[in-house]
Structure 1
Amino acid sequence: MIKGRVIQSTGSWYHVDTGEEKIIESRLPGRFRLKEQQVTNPIAVGDWVDLSMNEDGTGSIEHIHERKNYITRQATHGKRGEQILVSNLDAACVVQSIKKPKLKEGFIDRFLVTCEAYEVPPLIIINKMDLAKSGGIAFAEELTDLYQDLGYSIITTSIHDEASVEELKEFLTDKTSAFIGPSGVGKTSLINTIDPAWDFKVAAVSDYSNKGKHTTTFARLIPLEIGGYIADTPGIREFGLVDIEPWELSLYFPEMLEPRQHCKFHNCTHHHEPKCGVAEAFENGEIAASRYHSYLNMLESL
């Protein structure tokens, strides 16, 4: 058996890095696909697998090692279950742009809940700061204060600001990380700037729709000159939550952990129940309005 890591998935084939710069194109037997019916992809980029070799030089995946963590979202295009975006991460980076396309705090908060639920260390990246005017700069500073006070790491970046790129490179060095966010926020441009050896195709944001155009069509692990890997993933417009019950959602909001202990009901959803510690904390200004509204939007979706 040969052990390797899945660095790219194109549907029926998986590219497995077995070390020493040897990449083996491999297939997955049908028995694995039947076992993992709750997920649309039984193997994710970042998985460690064991291979047997075929006569034609391709591999057959015989064993999938247990994941230490992963980032998941609801399956798309009408499919049931969940889709695992990338696994075995040292950090997951949610990338939003200050404008073009517009920053969505709700997307960040959903992403953070997923990281909390699946034990993935998160990083928030607010990109394209070169496009920000005074109001945008003040908004980015407010967000930085908010999320840092909650214990999250956050970096503001621009590919035209060398200092911010160096700060990001320092964070990513020797880690397996992922860039996740909507199309057009600059994920691929950041990768090209972090490691100029890569020159991936990027596309401009549409002036008409203010939405990004997809340039990454499948997830892949990209080896970096600074050490480690970065996973570039397809653009995601919505980030749905998976396998979280309404009553436990507040467990993944750090600022709600202490107030929820004062709720009258142990399964309080902090929405309509009387004598709710979380609602009282919000009314007293102890929980940011944007975060509480994000919580309510997520609760409704669950």
Structure 2
Amino acid sequence: MQKGRVIQSTGSWYLIDTGEKVVESRLPGRFRLENKQVTNPIAVGDLVDIVINDDASGSIEKIHPRENYITRQATHSKKGEQILVSNLDQACVVQSIKKPRVKEGFIDRFLVTCEAYEVKPVIIINKMDLAKSGGKAFAEELRELYTELGYEFLTTSIQDEESLKKLKELLKEVTSAFIGPSGVGKTSLINAIDPSFDLKVNEVSDFSNKGKHTTTFARLIPLSFGGYIADTPGIREFGLVNIQPWELSLFFPEMLEPRQHCQFSNCTHAHEPKCGVAEAFERGEIAASRYQSYLNMLDSL
């Protein structure tokens, strides 16, 4: 029996890094039946025990408990949740200032998931070389908003060596994940900070202004300067899972104190009288974009 880490998943086969070699391995069917709420019983980043078969392939015999993970609601009419990546030191939500534009709702759903599953979040706004004066001002507004809430925030461009240097420092010697829609430049950033990879990238469609899927499966890539980066397929929607409506505000740092002043203990902060959160919003203590994100998430739950 050998212990290793899942560094790539293609759905039926998994690449397991044992530290000495990488073993192509299969997952016995019993694991798929044990948790029907999860579309993928094994995620990139998982620690597993494998047995080496006669043909040098591996058979996964045990999945170790996860320290944390990033999950989202399953797509394509599937029920349950999809675990994107596990055992992280930090997760980076990557958005682009233009082509495609920043989706604040996506960022906020990502932050809620990180808060709920105890993963350190980082916000990266990429493609700043495409930004005009209005875009640069908007990026600074986002920086002010999220840094005041305690979140780490970077602006990047593959044309800007200084921003790439800061990104390398952030990723050095830790396990990170890049998560975001297609076309925001996740793979291009990885190529820029470690050119030895030469990973395949695609352009954004001029017709739809949406990204084309380049990464079709999750993978954990060792960085030449130390650490790992998980490159995940582009995702357009980030559906919340296993979060109840009554606890949603617990994952908004700016709502923690105001919610203590609500008249009702089960206040949803949407329509009730004498709501501490709504009053804080009226006083300008909660950003309009964040409160709207909260209401949208509450409605979806």
TM-score normalised to structure 2 length? 0.99
User: What is the deviation of 1:269?
Assistant: 0.6
User: What is the deviation of 1:266?
Assistant: 1.0
CA distance in 1, matches of 2:245, 2:75: 22
User: What is the deviation of 1:149?
Assistant: 0.2
Is the partner of 1:39 in helix, strand or coil? coil
Is the partner of 2:39 in helix, strand or coil? coil
The residue that corresponds to 1:182 in the other structure is 181
- What's the CA shift string for 1:236-259, capped at 9, x where partnerless? 001000010111000000000000
CA distance in 1, matches of 2:24, 2:266: 48
Which letter does structure 2 place at the counterpart of 1:300? D
The residue that corresponds to 2:13 in the other structure is 13
Q: Extract structure 1 runs of 4+ deviating beyond 3 A.
A: none
| Unaligned ranges ≥5, structure 2 | none
CA distance in 2, matches of 1:142, 1:38: 39
CA distance in 2, matches of 1:94, 1:141: 17
User: What is the deviation of 1:36?
Assistant: 1.4
CA distance in 2, matches of 1:267, 1:244: 15
Is the partner of 2:71 in helix, strand or coil? strand
- Are 1:123 and 2:150 counterparts? no
Is the partner of 2:189 in helix, strand or coil? helix
| Unaligned ranges ≥5, structure 1 | none
- What's the CA shift string for 1:161-186, capped at 9, x where partnerless? 00000000000001110000000000
The residue that corresponds to 1:297 in the other structure is 296
- What's the CA shift string for 1:83-140, capped at 9, x where partnerless? 0000000010000000100110000000000000000000000000000000000000
CA distance in 2, matches of 1:36, 1:298: 26
Is the partner of 2:77 in helix, strand or coil? coil
Is the partner of 1:60 in helix, strand or coil? strand
CA distance in 1, matches of 2:54, 2:266: 57
Number of aligned pairs? 301
Percent identity reads 80
What is the alpha-carbon root mean square deviation over aligned residues?
0.5
CA distance in 2, matches of 1:196, 1:280: 50
CA distance in 1, matches of 2:200, 2:53: 34
CA distance in 2, matches of 1:175, 1:88: 11
